[in-house]
Structure 1
Amino acid sequence: MVTPPLSLAPSLVQTAQAFVGEQHYPAATLYVVATPIGNLGDISLRALHVLASVDAVACEDTRHTAALLRSYGLERPLLAVHEHNEAQAADGIVRRLAAGERIAYVSDAGTPGISDPGSRLCHAVTEAGLRCMPLPGASSITALLSVAGLSLADQAPAFEFTGFLPAKGSARQAAVRRLAAQPHACVLLEAPHRIDALAQALTPLGDRWVTVGRELTKQFEDIATLPCAGLPGWLDASANRRRGEFTLVLHPQLPSPADASGLSAETMRVLGLLMQELPVKSAARLCADITGAPRNALYQAALGLKPD
């Protein structure tokens, strides 16, 4: 990350105040602030204004956040709130908010409370009858989704945020089987030392597309869209591709191709299962209710499946 000259920082904060300073920023409020995931230029003017104005900044890592604030010419009292002390630290922050302070919370990078700490803190603040105000900004999730081209699947771009899969092999395989059954897109996160294991786990999904983003917004950002079966080979093509943090978008499952009857392979599979237990007419009727396929087409297909 390139640190801007400190001589520019005061004017940057002044610019932020000029654009967003007129909005009301109430006391007794926790400001949940998104921070850059790599490129320092992705900080918002509103985030700068709030970080310069609050009584204290609660953060995942005080050393990291102190360096981040110094990059913008800021210095504020810091409170450590991370995954190991979030529940206990929340009590102290609630007391300070109740006394009328304004406190910002930032994670090490991106939007707090999604995959990073922050959700327990927000819950405690809300439960105490106090306000949480979000300041949106950088997120590896939305960054990669925006370039994944999900609409190419001719489906609504619905997605599920899955995050990190289990580390253990059996649990990871079970999680991948669940993902394989999902018709919508799924967003995954992975660390560099486990990306090979994830790539191998996704290989059985074959030609289902995956968009992989590495070091998003940083100097050596790398984004590629390829079949799941090709992910191990993509990693093998360069040693650098195993470095940095990873975000992946598993694309929606494409509809099964239709056979000559116009019915999809999945519909024919359901019809075949029903015919093992039911007469032709009943199987066609129930299959139509399950799949939404035309009953007449199902009846004709069932006749073709029925032994002489």
Structure 2
Amino acid sequence: MTWLITGGAGYIGSHVVKAMTEAGEDVVVLDDLSTGNPARVPQGIVLERGTVLDRAFVDRVLREHSIDGIVHLAGKKQVAESVERPLYYYRENVQGLETLLEAAAEAGVTRFLFSSSASVYGMPDVDLVTEDTPCAPLSPYGETKLAGEWLVRAAGKAHAISTSCLRYFNVAGAATPELADTGVFNLVPMVFERIDAGAAPRIFGDDYATPDGTCIRDYIHVEDLADAHLAAARKLAEFSAAGEVRDLTLNIGRGEGVSVREMIGLIDEVTGNTVEATVTPRRPGDPAQVVACADLIHTELGWKARHEVRDMISSAWEGWNRKG
């Protein structure tokens, strides 16, 4: 079978491509290259440049490559930008997904894996977030992910497509330096950028109801995340081979929280930074604590995170310096 990986030239997508191809899966990459880099796509892997909003283009790709499984990672993902441009985010993330699902159903695709996010939970008032924790997203980005899950499950039931929605938490690290995160939107690269500039790393609020007053997050190594995609894709293939139509909605995290202040302290140790972090006002919508319960994915897929936080920082730093 052949998997179509949308967004496969991006940071996370390229790691999924790497994991799946090294495991012997046949893949084709679809990416509009708005943020992706074609150099991330391994030699010999077909890269179709275009958008999932283009139905004729998607139809051709599915037909020409005999696609029977899709891993959908393409989309916009910046929370602050989504607040400023909600219509753009709904078009790119929801309308794009709708177009892709329509094409998939017509083409007879039987497996669909959707890249969701812990942002669907919003500000959960629990120590560990399970898949049954109520969803109450705080941003248009989170809303598009939750709406995307609804679409995926509904289409799966209606068109006999086995589906999986993977809700992953804070992603960091790199499998190889050339696949490192080059954007400056997440905590680790944001701190790296400040270090390079000789400026103090920033902590957005230190008055939260947490042990050190800073937000607590669950960090997952991107290589572990990619392995989880591979495991989920293969489970969907098992369902289809057995004639089953099922949905798996799963958290991907380590089940361990790290505060922003602790994370910056670890970054300082790895990079040798000596400029002390400064505290700035809170960012709107930042929950105090979001940590995954990762029991269900271990039960369903036998998957468990292997990398520690220091591994994430070290590999990300190596890639950051390579970029520079």
- Please report the TM-score for the alignment, with normalisation by the length of structure 1: 0.35
| Structure with greater Cα Rg | 1
* Higher RCO by CA contacts (8 Å cutoff, separation 6 or greater): 2
- Please report the TM-score for the alignment, with normalisation by the length of structure 2: 0.34
